[in-house]
């Protein structure tokens, strides 16, 4: 017998279930308990950059909107810097870069207000196109799904993005691109996420 390795094993995932809102968005579950719920303000009041709204549906394999999803966003600021201890002081005060939203119980629509992130330079000097990292949990999803939202008006940057380029099936790359429209309140990017089947969104093992 060889010596045992002493690594621990990652705690296995379980679905967030139908009542995820109680823990992570209790106001939506129908009661107020915390002084402040976390995740409703991604960018804060001082962030530079264009204010945008991102919205969409999560759609299951039958084509139906999923109405009990919780999504989390993780993004850089307009200069492409993440609010992380290694960059302490390099992002605007109040910019957390993280947000949490739930889908509407009746329609399945979700939306969050934020700023458009800038391109992110990676450790090896490569530049990633502006993107928002998304994490999706819900009843029926055993392990949270990771995907990325890219911006339709950044075609040139997207074409050079190393992650998009790593998707061998070019016709699937489009599933990661949100499309811009203008409303009176400002710019909106539409991003529907298809869990399964026709037009299935690309999900990542990160």
Partner 1 sequence: MPKPGEFYQRDRMWHPPALTRDYKTSVARSPQYALLSLDNTVSEITGPVFGHNDIDPIDNDLILNYAQSGEMPIGERIIVHGRVLDENARPVPNTLVEIWQANAGGRYRHRKDTYLAPIDPNFGGCGRTLTDADGYYHFRTIKPGAYPWRNWRNDWRPAHVHFSVFGSGFAQRLITQMYFEGDPLIARCPIANTIPGPAALEQLIAPLDHKATVPFDSIAYKFDIVLRGRRSTLFENRPEGN
Binders in 96-125 for partner 1, by CB under 8 A: 96-98, 105, 120-124
Two tokens at 31?
């009661």
Quick one: 57 exposed, middle or buried, by C-beta within 10 A (0-12, 13-18, 19+)? Answer: buried
**Quick check: 192 binds partner 1 (CB under 8 A)?**
no
Query: Would you say 23 or 186 has its CB closer to partner 1?
Result: 23
Total of residues contacting partner 1 (CB under 8 A): 80
Cβ burial, residue 161 (10 Å; 0-12/13-18/19+)? buried
The reply on whether position 204 binds partner 1 by CB under 8 A is yes
Instruction: Tell me whether residue 52 or residue 91 sits nearer to partner 1 (CB atom).
Output: 91
Q: Which of residues 131-160 bind partner 1 (CB under 8 A)?
A: 131, 133, 135, 137-146, 148
In the block, tokens 């017998």 appear at: 1
**Beta bridge mates, 59:** 65, 194
Output the smallest distance, CB 111 to partner 1, in A. Answer: 20
Is the Cβ of residue 40 or residue 186 nearer to partner 1 in the bound state?
40
The verdict on 190 binding partner 1 (CB under 8 A) reads no
Paired tokens of 24: 């992570």
Answer yes or no: are the C-beta atoms of 201 and 149 closer than 8 Å.
Answer: no
Report in angstroms how near the CB of residue 101 gets to partner 1 at its nearest.
14
Q: Cβ 31 to partner 1, closest distance in Å? A: 6
For the CB of residue 106, give the shortest distance to partner 1 in the complex, in Å.
11
Whether 147 and 193 have beta carbons less than 8 Å apart is answered as yes
- Cα 92 from chain centre: 20
Confirm or reject binding of residue 1 to partner 1 (CB under 8 A). no
Nearer to partner 1, 62 or 181 (CB): 62
Pairwise CA distance, residues 55 & 112, whole Å: 6
């Amino acid at each position: 017998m060889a010596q045992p390795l002493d690594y621990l094993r990652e705690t296995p995932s379980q679905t967030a279930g139908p009542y995820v809102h109680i823990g992570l968005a209790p106001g939506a579950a129908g009661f107020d308990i915390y002084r402040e719920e976390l995740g409703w303000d991604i960018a804060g009041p001082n962030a530079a950059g264009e204010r945008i709204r991102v919205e969409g549906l999560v759609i299951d394999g039958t084509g139906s909107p999923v109405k009990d999803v919780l999504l989390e966003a993780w993004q850089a600021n307009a200069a492409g810097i993440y609010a992380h201890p290694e960059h302490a002081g390099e992002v605007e005060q109040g910019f957390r870069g993280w947000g949490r939203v739930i889908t509407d119980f009746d329609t399945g629509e979700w939306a969050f207000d934020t700023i458009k992130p800038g391109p992110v330079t990676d450790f090896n000097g490569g530049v990633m196109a502006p993107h928002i990292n998304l994490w999706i949990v819900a009843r029926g999803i055993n392990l949270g799904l990771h995907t990325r939202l890219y911006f339709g008006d950044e075609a040139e940057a997207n074409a050079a993005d190393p992650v998009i380029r790593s998707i061998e099936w070019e016709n699937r790359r489009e599933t990661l691109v949100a499309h811009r429209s203008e409303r009176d309140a400002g710019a909106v990017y539409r991003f529907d996420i298809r869990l399964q089947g026709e037009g299935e969104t690309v999900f990542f093992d990160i």
